[in-house]
């Protein structure tokens, strides 16, 4: 025997459910999140590799040669990125890169120091950051493999000696890391580390006072052998 639910009770249940359900926030169609920059040098995911191997075997059994090729190329791409090896088949055209970066807000000028190092002069210290380097690299990403590019930012209007130093990083690596077969190059006229050591020595001499400094100078002069 079927049991009939009263319409009034059903309506009350639906009303209670509607009242207790939290309204979902409406998605803003204009809010488009910025794509995350690519990152190389990460360890190879064994589960992802196993999936490519299994898919390649299935494709080989079924006679799908295109599927075999795609999975083998995907494994090779993962290996290349883990080794931090730039893709020689996707070089970035220098003039296209300069044209893409030159129109960015806050950019004064763009120039290539060599085939892999891009110098971007910005209009203020607020643009001299790793976040701005990410934005530059995202402009270069459609043009080729950005793993071969090191972006250096330099403030065109420095107010202090520290702001005159350039800030550089590979597009897809952490600060201080380099791609495979990529040499480091001194961009600033004076090494920032050498400048920091000189500043520390100067501050240390001021803290010691003139008497201690004079005594050290006399000791240094006395240590010089006579001719």
For residue range 3-40, list pLDDT tens digits in order. Answer: 444 544 444 444 444 444 444 545 454 545 556 667 88
- Identify the helix (H) or strand (E) that includes residue 84: none
122 vs 3, residue with greater confidence: 122
Asked whether residue 220 carries a pLDDT value surpassing 80, the answer given is no
Distance CA 211, CA 163 (A): 34
Token pair for residue 26?
A: 């409406």
86 in Cβ contact with 179 (< 8 Å): yes
CB within 8 Å of 206: residues ≥ 6 apart: none
In this predicted model, what pLDDT tens digit does every residue of 149-206 receive, in sequence order?
999 999 998 888 778 888 999 999 999 899 888 777 777 756 666 666 666 766 776 6
In this predicted model, what pLDDT tens digit does every residue of 32-68 receive, in sequence order?
555 666 788 889 999 999 999 999 999 999 999 999 9
Buried b (16+ CB within 10 A) or exposed e, 39-50: ebbeeeeeeeee
Distance CA 200, CA 211 (A): 19
Task: From 47, 49, 88, select the one nearest 71 (Cα to Cα).
Answer: 49
Task: From 180, 137, 182, 133, select the one nearest 154 (Cα to Cα).
Answer: 133
Task: From 143, 224, 221, 152, select the one nearest 192 (Cα to Cα).
Answer: 152
**pTM confidence score:** 0.66
State how far the alpha carbon of 64 is from the alpha carbons of 51, 54, 73, 114, 211, in Å: 16, 13, 15, 44, 85
Q: What is the DSSP letter of 136?
A: H
């Amino acid at each position: 025997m079927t049991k009939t639910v009263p319409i009034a009770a059903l309506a009350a249940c639906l009303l209670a459910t509607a009242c207790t359900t939290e309204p979902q926030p409406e998605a803003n169609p204009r809010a488009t999140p910025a794509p995350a920059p690519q990152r190389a040098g990460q360890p190879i995911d064994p589960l992802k590799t196993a999936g490519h191997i299994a898919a390649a075997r299935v494709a080989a059994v079924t006679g799908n040669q295109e599927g075999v090729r795609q999975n083998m190329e995907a494994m090779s791409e993962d290996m290349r990125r883990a080794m931090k090896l730039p893709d020689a088949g996707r070089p970035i055209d220098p003039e296209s890169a300069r044209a893409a970066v030159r129109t960015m807000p806050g950019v004064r000028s763009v120039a290539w120091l060599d085939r892999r190092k891009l110098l971007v002069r910005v209009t203020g210290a607020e643009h001299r950051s790793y976040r701005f380097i990410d934005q530059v690299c995202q402009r270069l990403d459609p043009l080729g493999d950005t793993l071969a590019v090191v972006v250096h930012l330099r403030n065109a209007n420095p107010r202090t000696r520290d702001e005159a130093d350039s800030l550089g990083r590979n597009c897809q690596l952490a600060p201080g890391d380099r791609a495979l077969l990529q040499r480091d190059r001194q961009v600033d006229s004076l090494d920032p580390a050498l400048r920091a050591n000189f500043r520390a020595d100067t501050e240390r001499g001021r803290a010691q006072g003139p008497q201690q400094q004079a005594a050290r100078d006399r000791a240094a002069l006395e240590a010089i052998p006579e001719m």
